[in-house]
Structure 1
Amino acid sequence: MKTFKTIFTILLLLISMISCSSDDGTDGVNGVDGAQGPAGPAGTANVIYSGWINAPAGTPETIDGTSGLSTSFAVPQLTADIMSKGMVLVYMSFGSGTNIYALPYTSTAGGFANTISAISSLNSIKIFRFKHANDGTTVALPASLNYRYILIPGGAAAATAKTAKQDYAKMSYDEVCAAFNIQP
């Protein structure tokens, strides 16, 4: 009886090994596709960017108690929604198209530490240059400077958007252009 059980067990093992072969049949027919899923979060397809802009030379202005020079240019696409949920990046060039700097940009021009910054408001960007000494004198803000803006609409969850803003702020101009497929 023991021999019969052993032969029966071996036979069952052989049958199961042969019947589980991958070569014993044809593939079935694919099923019908499922329903369309919900829309995903907004991406970066709606990024808006300008060409290089020559703004007028700066004129004297005091902002928050700091004297400096300012100039501005119209940005019709800069909406309240972008300002509250998105991000505004502004870059500056000294007119040569090379050496591009993200604003704010701090340097020692005319022998004085000074900063050129961008102030966004509805439909407009103001460029403001001030000396750190705030002694009532200014460093020129010439019309030969060029500016370019990149508007990144919001759309991601707050934690993701905050991380993205920090990432974009750390990126070079060329890296941001590559990330959004923008011609430098």
Structure 2
Amino acid sequence: MRKQFKILALLVIVTSIFSCRGDNGIDGKDGLDGQPGANGQPGANGNANVIISAWKTSTNAKDTVIDASSMKIATVAAPELKPGLVGNAAIYVYLDFGGGAYPLPYVSNAGGRVNTINFFPAKYKIRPTRFPHDNGATISLPEFIKFRYIIIPSGTGSKNAGQVDYSDYASVKKFYNLKD
């Protein structure tokens, strides 16, 4: 009886070893990977928060002095330029006087004198300025000059931001698909 018990115990142990392989079992081979899927549609540029104005004319051009420089200053309405954006956004302004669009600052020889048209932002407006380099009498800032601004709030990124050169209006126009 004792011998039968030993054989039975040995049989239980051997059966247990072979029936409970766990992680020590034999793995099958991996199958071949399937074919890659088609590429998805391109995503948006990520420009949802970028503000681009229509072409606008300036109003209220007047003479002023800023930092001891005589200049003309005007106003372009920019209702999107809320107080929190002034100083917290990249702002690009372009002008068009009928000969093409140019980024500000723009240096010209209007009236035979070197002068610069530039701007500064203020809440709810862009303030175009024109000052002569000789600090003489101011040069007009006519209302037929059109301005367009682009406001990019801080933290607004674009996966394609490196593809646009903001100093080249043609690049900006293409990137943002602008119609003039």
TM-score by length of 1: 0.65
Q: Identify if the C-alpha distance between structure 1 residues 47 and 182 changes in structure 2 by more than 3 Å, giving closer, same or farther.
A: farther
Question: Once the two structures are superposed, what CA deviation does each residue of 1:73-124 show, in whole Å capped at 9, x if it has no partner?
Answer: 2211112332233211111011x3x511111101111111100011101111
C-alpha distance in 1, partners of 2:134/2:56? 29
The Cα shift of 1:143 comes to 1.1
C-alpha distance in 1, partners of 2:88/2:165? 15
Whether the aligned pair in 2 keeps the contact of 1:57 and 1:141 (CA below 8 Å) is no
Q: Does 1:79 align with 2:82?
A: yes
Q: Which residue of 1 aligns with 2:5?
A: none
Q: Which residue of 2 aligns with 1:173?
A: 169
Q: Which residue of 1 aligns with 2:130?
A: 129
C-alpha distance in 1, partners of 2:52/2:156? 20
Q: Identify if the C-alpha distance between structure 1 residues 20 and 149 changes in structure 2 by more than 3 Å, giving closer, same or farther.
A: same
Whether the aligned pair in 1 keeps the contact of 2:49 and 2:156 (CA below 8 Å) is no
The Cα shift of 1:50 comes to 1.3
C-alpha distance in 2, partners of 1:66/1:87? 25
Question: Once the two structures are superposed, what CA deviation does each residue of 1:11-42 show, in whole Å capped at 9, x if it has no partner?
Answer: xxxxxxxx74847xxx9xxxxxxxxxxxxxxx
Whether the aligned pair in 1 keeps the contact of 2:132 and 2:139 (CA below 8 Å) is yes
Q: 5+ unaligned residues in a row in structure 2: which ranges?
A: 1-27, 35-45
Number of matched pairs: 139
**RMSD, aligned CA:** 2.9
Q: Which residue of 2 aligns with 1:182?
A: 178
Q: Identify if the C-alpha distance between structure 1 residues 150 and 21 changes in structure 2 by more than 3 Å, giving closer, same or farther.
A: closer
Query: Which ranges of 4 or more aligned residues in structure 1 deviate by more than 3 Å?
Result: 19-23, 167-170
Q: Percent identity?
A: 33
SS state at 1:175 partner: helix
One-letter code aligned to 2:174: A
Whether the aligned pair in 2 keeps the contact of 1:85 and 1:155 (CA below 8 Å) is no
SS state at 1:80 partner: coil
The Cα shift of 1:178 comes to 2.5
Structure with the higher helix share, 1 or 2: 1
One-letter code aligned to 1:71: A
C-alpha distance in 2, partners of 1:152/1:62? 29
The Cα shift of 1:169 comes to 4.0
